[in-house]
Amino acid sequence: MGEKLTDVAAQALLTLLRSDSSVDSKVASLTTAKSSIKQHNLPDACVSPLFESARLAMVSQHTALVNAGFTTLNHLLTRMTRQEPRAIVRETKATLPL
């Protein structure tokens, strides 16, 4: 079972996705975040970096990273629908231009 995601971990994921790290490490980090999103409520400070992380993954040139980004976004939207629906509205402007 995934550990509860903290704001530090969400920022670290965002930093990793912006770096030149390997695609495999990015996919693994997104998958870990996805399982945490599925299992636990998210602190408010995590929401924006997670949406941005999913967006960065979805615009990647690597199929595995794009797939991980879309599945993470799916779980994030499901979690936010249950936890805080207004967060979806806040993040739509940045995520939808994709």
- Taking 80 as the threshold, does the pLDDT of residue 2 lie above it? no
pTM of the model: 0.89
Q: Could you give the C-alpha distances from 9 to 5, 36, 50, 51, 97, in angstroms and in order?
A: 6, 11, 10, 14, 25
Q: Could you give the C-alpha distances from 22 to 5, 44, 72, 76, 85, in angstroms and in order?
A: 22, 29, 18, 24, 34
**Rg for the chain, CA atoms, rounded:** 12
pLDDT digits (tens, 9 = 90+) for 28-64: 999 999 999 999 999 999 999 999 999 999 999 999 9
Q: What pLDDT score was predicted for residue 14? A: 92
Q: What pLDDT score was predicted for residue 97? A: 67
